[in-house]
Every structure is written in structure tokens, then in C-alpha cells.
């Protein structure tokens, strides 16, 4: 039989729990909503930071509160009754259904990666965080619990246990645990993925429309008088393997050029090495590498009107590379970014540059759409298109950093 897990309370912790409940009622904090900061809670409840953290840890243990980042928690159970099913007995796992009414998120367990990584991974970290966060919140809004599962730890026993509990659904963030996803589809557990690579497994996919985003970005450049538009793809490792979005962006660019009878330029592909170093050093090192590749292109094709960078971090590097070649960003050439995180990246602390335009991939809508597709709920038809009933593409938005507006 299943057992119930409850909070064991001392008098001091019981008093703190009562104050916590009163605060929730007073501030009208409901299920799925963000809790105040620890400092704010300590001040309002008049308790020490240590006691508060002990209480919050207890509430996380029993599922009443869930941590979604290092400094952020959301409320799961406003009553804070502190009772959830424990994990099953390994000798008789079928006696318990610990994941009934739970959507399992196969990702990084809500851990936001910092931006102190190689520039391409910084955009991926930001995107994954936004997608996972909004998928979690929408799952709760839809009446389910959301369980973060660190997919790297899903060995054979862990994967079998997870599937044996028959969760309400699985959401795979990126290309993770293919064996688990394949078996989930086979036994009929609803599954959806934030990775087009999982289409081969028969798993519905939700992703940003990179083809449409790049076509719109290229069209914007053409509408503003650009004829020579260069793609500069700066990524780490293999340039094509496991990156379907790169080919999609190429298609969008070529479509815009063809429709406007603009001669497309060959893309510059710059491999980057993964090196951990201070942001200012990384910026200048990568800029020198890019400048070397650009020099050959300028020699063969002359100066360009617009450069389309892989993402906003690469746009910073392209701007520095242009300066090394005596090309003035914003005057001699317009530099476009992608991913809409230019103001969050550490490069922004060492440069006043901003891309002329960037693209917001609508990660929050991707997260919500993952849950809608999983549960068979209607999606936002004005921003989501479906291909072959499996591939759901979310429309990105053009962003003008000078005005911080979507187009």
C-alpha cells in the first residue's frame, strides 16, 4: 500500500507554517503563482532566514512548494497540508502509482544555466529555461502536477520505474532519453518533445519556426534597402550535426532572396571552440576568429549591407570583428541578431552594441503549446501551425532593440 509523507513539525516550525499560510491568504497567492523572495518572506513572517529555508525545504519535500530556479519558488498546494505519495517500494513497484496526475518534464529539473558559457550555449540555456518554466506553469494551470526529471540520471532502472508509474504525460526538453520516449509511445503514455529530432520516434514536436523567423528577418533587411545580405553561422563543434534549425534558417533566407530577386550570398561558417574564459576575453578572441573568415569574404564579394548572425551573442562578436576590418557597425553595415537576449548576455557589459533587429523565438508560448499538444487541448492557432499532425511550429516575433517592440 502507498504511504503518505508528512511534515514533522517542532513548535517553532509549526508556528512558522501557520504564519506562512496566513501570508498566502493575506497576499492572495494561489496555486501556480510565484512566492515572494526569501527576504520578503522573512520580513513579513518575522522569522529568521534559516527557519524559513528549513520550512521551505520541508514544503518542497512534500510537494506543497516547488523550486523553479535558484531563487524562485512557486506554490503547488495552497493548503500546505504536506501529504504526497512517496516513491514506490522497489520490491513491489506496481502497488503504487506515485505519478498519477503528474506530467514528467525530462530536462534539467528547472536549473537555469548561467550565461557564463560559450556564446551558442548561452542562447540555448536561456531558451530551455523559458520553455521549461512556462510548460511547468501551464501544466499546473491545466490541473496537473509537474515533476522535473533530470534526464541524464534516467538509467535503465530509472526509466522503467518512471514508465511503470504511468504518468499523465512526458515532456522531453531537447533530444533526451530516446529509449524512454520510444517505450512511452509504445505503451500509450502521451508524449511530446521540444526537439524535432524526436519526430523519428513518433513523438509530436513543438519548436520555434526558424525558417519563418529567418525569412522575416531577411525580408526586413530587404525592405530597408539591403541587397547584399550575409549569413554568418558561428557555432561550436559540428556545424550541421544535430542542428536542424540551421538548415531551416538557410531555407528562410533563400526563400526571401528568391521572392525578392536578391542574389543570395554564400554563408560564412565559423567553428568555435568551447573555452571557459572571462566574457571580455572570449568576445575579443571570437571576434578575431570571425574577422579572419570575413576578410576572405570581403575580398571576394566586397562589403555587405547586412550581416545575419547566429544569435545575439554572435552579433556582438561580429560587430567587434567588423571594427578590426575597418567596417563601422551601424554605418557601413547593419548587424542582425537572433534569440532576443542581447541585454542579458555578459558581452553587454563590455560593449554598447545592440543588434539592429533580433528575433524572439516565443519560448513562453512554446512551453504552453507543449502542454496543449500533450493534453489534446486547442493551441493558439494565430501563432501555432501544425504540419502532418505532429510538427507544431510556433511563430517567432521580430524585435527592434532600439524600441524594444515586437513586429
The string of pLDDT tens digits covering residues 164-174 is 888 999 998 86
The stretch 266-276 carries a mean pLDDT of 81
CATH number at residue 238: 3.40.50.2300
93: in domain? no
pLDDT higher at 257 or 382: 257
pLDDT-based confidence at residue 115 (cuts at 50, 70, 90): very low
Minimum mean pLDDT range among 11-15, 324-328, 400-404? 11-15
Backbone φ, ψ for residue 154 (5° rounding)? -85, 80
Angle CA(132)–CA(135)–CA(138) in degrees, nearest 5? 150
Is there a contact between 129 and 62 (Cβ–Cβ < 8 Å)?
no
Please tell me the distance from the alpha carbon of residue 135 to that of residue 160, in angstroms, as a whole number.
24
Q: Are residues 234 and 330 in the same domain?
A: yes
pLDDT-based confidence at residue 111 (cuts at 50, 70, 90): very low
Query: Would you state the pLDDT for residue 162?
Result: 83
Q: Are residues 244 and 355 in the same domain?
A: yes
Residues in the chain: 407
Q: Are residues 167 and 308 in the same domain?
A: no
- pLDDT tens for residues 37-96? 888 898 888 888 888 888 887 787 767 787 766 667 888 777 765 433 333 333 444 444
Number of domains in the chain: 3
Residue 78 burial (C-beta neighbours within 10 Å; 0-12, 13-18, 19+)? middle
Question: Which residues 6+ apart lie within 8 Å of 47 measured at CB?
Answer: 16, 19
- pLDDT tens for residues 126-167? 677 788 889 988 998 888 888 888 766 666 567 777 888 889
Instruction: Assess whether pLDDT exceeds 70 at residue 117.
Output: no
- The residues facing 270 across adjacent strands are 234
Q: Are residues 215 and 352 in the same domain?
A: yes
Please tell me the distance from the alpha carbon of residue 20 to that of residue 45, in angstroms, as a whole number.
7
* C-alpha neighbours within 13 Å on the C-beta side of residue 378: 3
Is there a contact between 142 and 375 (Cβ–Cβ < 8 Å)?
yes
Q: Are residues 273 and 381 in the same domain?
A: no
pLDDT higher at 273 or 303: 303
Q: Are residues 120 and 43 in the same domain?
A: no
Query: Would you state the pLDDT for residue 318?
Result: 97
When the pLDDT of each residue in the chain is averaged and rounded to a whole number, the result is 81
Query: Would you state the pLDDT for residue 93?
Result: 42
The stretch 210-231 carries a mean pLDDT of 97
Instruction: Assess whether pLDDT exceeds 80 at residue 195.
Output: no
Q: Which SS3 state, helix, strand or coil, does residue 27 take?
A: coil
Q: Are residues 368 and 271 in the same domain?
A: no
Please tell me the distance from the alpha carbon of residue 57 to that of residue 373, in angstroms, as a whole number.
33
Domain, as residue range, for 103:
98-208+364-395
Query: Would you state the pLDDT for residue 175?
Result: 62
90: in domain? no
Q: Are residues 214 and 327 in the same domain?
A: yes
The stretch 5-34 carries a mean pLDDT of 74
Instruction: Assess whether pLDDT exceeds 60 at residue 405.
Output: no
92: in domain? no
CATH number at residue 22: 1.10.10.10
Angle CA(147)–CA(149)–CA(151) in degrees, nearest 5? 155
Instruction: Assess whether pLDDT exceeds 90 at residue 101.
Output: no
Q: Are residues 224 and 356 in the same domain?
A: yes
Amino acid at each position: 500500500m502507498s504511504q503518505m509523507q508528512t511534515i514533522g513539525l517542532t513548535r517553532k516550525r509549526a508556528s512558522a507554517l501557520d504564519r506562512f499560510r496566513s501570508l498566502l491568504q493575506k497576499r492572495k497567492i494561489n496555486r501556480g503563482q510565484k512566492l515572494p523572495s526569501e527576504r520578503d518572506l522573512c520580513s513579513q513572517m518575522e522569522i529568521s532566514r534559516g527557519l524559513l529555508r528549513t520550512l521551505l525545504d520541508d514544503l518542497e519535500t512534500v510537494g506543497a512548494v516547488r523550486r523553479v530556479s535558484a531563487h524562485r519558488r512557486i506554490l503547488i498546494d495552497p493548503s500546505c497540508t504536506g501529504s504526497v505519495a512517496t516513491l514506490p517500494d522497489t520490491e513491489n513497484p506496481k502497488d503504487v502509482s506515485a505519478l498519477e496526475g503528474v506530467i514528467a518534464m525530462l530536462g534539467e529539473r528547472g536549473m537555469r544555466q548561467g550565461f557564463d558559457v560559450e556564446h551558442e550555449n548561452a542562447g540555448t540555456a536561456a531558451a530551455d529555461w523559458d520553455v521549461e518554466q512556462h510548460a511547468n506553469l501551464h501544466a499546473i494551470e491545466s490541473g496537473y502536477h509537474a515533476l522535473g526529471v533530470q534526464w541524464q540520471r534516467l538509467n535503465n532502472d530509472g526509466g522503467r520505474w518512471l514508465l511503470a508509474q504511468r504518468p499523465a504525460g512526458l515532456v522531453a526538453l531537447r533530444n533526451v532519453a530516446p529509449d524512454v520516449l520510444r517505450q512511452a509511445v509504445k505503451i500509450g503514455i502521451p508524449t511530446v518533445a521540444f526537439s524535432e529530432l524526436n519526430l523519428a520516434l513518433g513523438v509530436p514536436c513543438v519548436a520555434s519556426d526558424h525558417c519563418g523567423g529567418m525569412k522575416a528577418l531577411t525580408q526586413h533587411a530587404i525592405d530597408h534597402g539591403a541587397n547584399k545580405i550575409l549569413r554568418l553561422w558561428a557555432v561550436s563543434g559540428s556545424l550541421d550535426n544535430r542542428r536542424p534549425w540551421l538548415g531551416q534558417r538557410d531555407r528562410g533566407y533563400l526563400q526571401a532572396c528568391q521572392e525578392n530577386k536578391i542574389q543570395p550570398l554564400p554563408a560564412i561558417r565559423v567553428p568555435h571552440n568551447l573555452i571557459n574564459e572571462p566574457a571580455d576575453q572570449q568576445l575579443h578572441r571570437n571576434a578575431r576568429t570571425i574577422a579572419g573568415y570575413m576578410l576572405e569574404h570581403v575580398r571576394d564579394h566586397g562589403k555587405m549591407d547586412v550581416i545575419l548572425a547566429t544569435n545575439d551573442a554572435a552579433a556582438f562578436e561580429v560587430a567587434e570583428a567588423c571594427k578590426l576590418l575597418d567596417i563601422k557597425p551601424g554605418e557601413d553595415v547593419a548587424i542582425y541578431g537572433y534569440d532576443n537576449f542581447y541585454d542579458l548576455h555578459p558581452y553587454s557589459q563590455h560593449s554598447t552594441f545592440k543588434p539592429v533587429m533580433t528575433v524572439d523565438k516565443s519560448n513562453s508560448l512554446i512551453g504552453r503549446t507543449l502542454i496543449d499538444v500533450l493534453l489534446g487541448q486547442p493551441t493558439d492557432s494565430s501563432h501555432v501551425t501544425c504540419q502532418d499532425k505532429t510538427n507544431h511550429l510556433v511563430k517567432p516575433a521580430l524585435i527592434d532593440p532600439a524600441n524594444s517592440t515586437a513586429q
